[in-house]
Amino acid sequence: MSRSAGGRVARALAACALLVACGGPKPPPGLIVISVDTLRADAIEPLGAPEGSSPTLARIAREGVLFERAYAQANETQPSHAALFTSQLPSALGPVDSALTIPDGTPTLASSLAAAGWRTGAVVAGGHLARVLGLDDGFQQYVEARRMGSFQQTVPLGLRWLDEARAGDAPWMLFLHSYDCHIPYSKPQALGRSATPGYRGPMLDIVHDPLSFEAMYQRFFFPRLPVGVDRDAVGAKVKAPETAALMTQWVNMPEVEKLPLTDADVAFLRGLYATSAFYADLWLGVLWQELDARGVLDDSVVVILSDHGEDLLEHGWMSHHHVLTDSSTHVPLIVRLPGGEGGGRRVREVVELIDVAPTLLGLQGLPIPETMAGVDRSACLRGGGCGGGPGVARSEAKNEQVSATDGFFRMTVSGAPAGSPAMAARVRRLEPSAVRLWDTTKGSGAEQALDLRSFDPERVGRLRAALLGEGAP
């Protein structure tokens, strides 16, 4: 650096110091919501993953408030984000299917902030958050990076947006998203086998094809399964609904070609997923350093969450859209306040992702639209009590399932569309053929099935009331 350039820098620094000392204009407040698509809660260190699995998230949890029992309201990207943005259950927005969107005029977190004069932007990795699906309400800028892409694309774009927004006078909100943890878990090529370096089995042949992961059921891989005959609303090839039913039949048919998955195969698949989570964490590390260098962490609220988890054959399936379980709905939720205020707290109460929007509006002292059904937990973030709300988290799936959990027990009711009168009737009657109940305290894959008839009626009543949208009985 030349002497004159050095002098300019020194003068600029002195001016900055003077401005701060004299109480000069504070930078506008900021809010960053980061959605790490498909990141299950137990894939991160603070919630049970081994040390070194997610060093950045471990650090952020030490600087923020970690909600240990946060649940998504759906097990797929589109309905879950619709619920997150609107603070409503997916079925309250419309039929829970591939066409689910945010109805025009429905208040969202972004639209509420925009109405209050905030600058709002989103950088998403397309796919099921593509603009055409209509989840962009309230975002003044909605940038679609590469479809089904990585933080590698969205983090730099997000930082670019952030730099522009911070140059203005208005407060701002950025939503940032990636699919790093989504099937086929092969984005980090050079780290691919780091969880299982000795693996040489047949799963190496399928790791680049997402549909191969959909051809697995009950520890079998069906190489001749006719997968991928449907296209969804954004034109992506997806597994046809009947494919799942076909596998449940084929699994018991000896004449059908199927490859048994060994323990080593399963460990490799789970290792791939864990490595994908690690790769996402690396990019969060890049983002974190860039935010820190800009001073963003001093004046902004940062939220990190996931829209759903992932089933890794614990319940028979790969991917996340087959069943409503802890593995597919229990997600990370960390809120870091400016300067890391109150950092390191762990909240044990059950919360839902629909609580996020009212909580963030509450933190800013902004009005919370009446349509928002979640609980404002801003007092909890400021060190107050974290109770309130039903103490039960609800989730809904496209394939005619609803589920409720109190963090210890989970009840799932199936056989009718979520939100339909037929489903409500099933929940009211608790038809044994349609209801399943588990003890989930031992973790995903170790659930213990319970007999509904002999289980604590008060607890069942609470889960049932939550599914019916009623308060505690």
Partner 1 sequence: MSPAARSVTAGGCFGRWGLALLGAVACQPAQAPRYPAVARALMERVDQDGDHKVDADEYYLLLLPGGTEGGGAFSALDTDGSGDLSEAELEAGLLATDPVEVRHAALAAEKAAQRAALEPPDQGPAGEPGSPDGPGGGPNSGVGAGGAPPVEGR
Question: Is residue 326 involved in binding partner 1 (CB under 8 A)?
Answer: no
Backbone angles phi, psi at 138, to 5 degrees: 90, -15
- Of 34, 47, 56, 418, which one interacts with partner 1 (CB under 8 A)? 56
The mark string for 135-154 relative to partner 1 (x by CB under 8 A, - otherwise) is: ----------xxxxxx-xx-
- CA distances from residue 6 to 18, 20, 293 in whole angstroms, order as listed: 18, 21, 20
Q: How many CB atoms lie within 10 A of CB 266?
A: 17
List all residues 6 or more positions away from 463 whose beta carbon is below 8 Å from its beta carbon: 392, 404, 405, 406, 409, 410, 411
Backbone angles phi, psi at 372, to 5 degrees: -75, 120
Question: Is residue 413 involved in binding partner 1 (CB under 8 A)?
Answer: no
Question: Is residue 187 involved in binding partner 1 (CB under 8 A)?
Answer: yes
Taking the complex as a whole, the smallest distance from the CB of residue 414 to partner 1 amounts, in Å, to 18
Taking the complex as a whole, the smallest distance from the CB of residue 311 to partner 1 amounts, in Å, to 12
- CA distances from residue 388 to 202, 380, 452, 461 in whole angstroms, order as listed: 50, 10, 27, 18
Taking the complex as a whole, the smallest distance from the CB of residue 9 to partner 1 amounts, in Å, to 19
- Of 232, 298, 299, 431, which one interacts with partner 1 (CB under 8 A)? 232
CA-based radius of gyration for the chain: 23
Q: Are 183 and 213 in contact (CB under 8 A)?
A: yes
Taking the complex as a whole, the smallest distance from the CB of residue 224 to partner 1 amounts, in Å, to 5
In degrees, rounded to 5, the angle at the alpha carbon of residue 77 between the alpha carbons of residues 190 and 238 is: 75
The mark string for 263-302 relative to partner 1 (x by CB under 8 A, - otherwise) is: ---------------xx-xxx-xx--x-------------
Burial category of 333 from C-beta neighbours within 10 Å (exposed 0-12, middle 13-18, buried 19 and up): buried
Taking the complex as a whole, the smallest distance from the CB of residue 127 to partner 1 amounts, in Å, to 6
Taking the complex as a whole, the smallest distance from the CB of residue 286 to partner 1 amounts, in Å, to 5
Taking the complex as a whole, the smallest distance from the CB of residue 441 to partner 1 amounts, in Å, to 29
- Of 320, 336, 377, 394, which one interacts with partner 1 (CB under 8 A)? 320
Instruction: Report the site for partner 1 in 76-135 (rule: CB under 8 A).
Output: 76-77, 127-128
302 strand-pairing partners: 32, 336
- CA distances from residue 322 to 23, 162, 178 in whole angstroms, order as listed: 55, 37, 22
Taking the complex as a whole, the smallest distance from the CB of residue 352 to partner 1 amounts, in Å, to 21
Question: Is residue 190 involved in binding partner 1 (CB under 8 A)?
Answer: yes
- CA distances from residue 192 to 134, 216, 311, 375, 461 in whole angstroms, order as listed: 34, 20, 19, 40, 46
Question: Is residue 390 involved in binding partner 1 (CB under 8 A)?
Answer: no
- Token pair 């053929």 in the structure block, residue: 433
Choice between 141 and 364, CB closer to partner 1: 141
Query: What residues line the site for partner 1 (CB under 8 A)?
Result: 52, 55-56, 59, 76-77, 127-128, 145-150, 152-153, 155-157, 159, 180, 182-184, 186-194, 197, 204-215, 223-228, 232, 235-239, 278-279, 281-283, 285-286, 289, 319-321
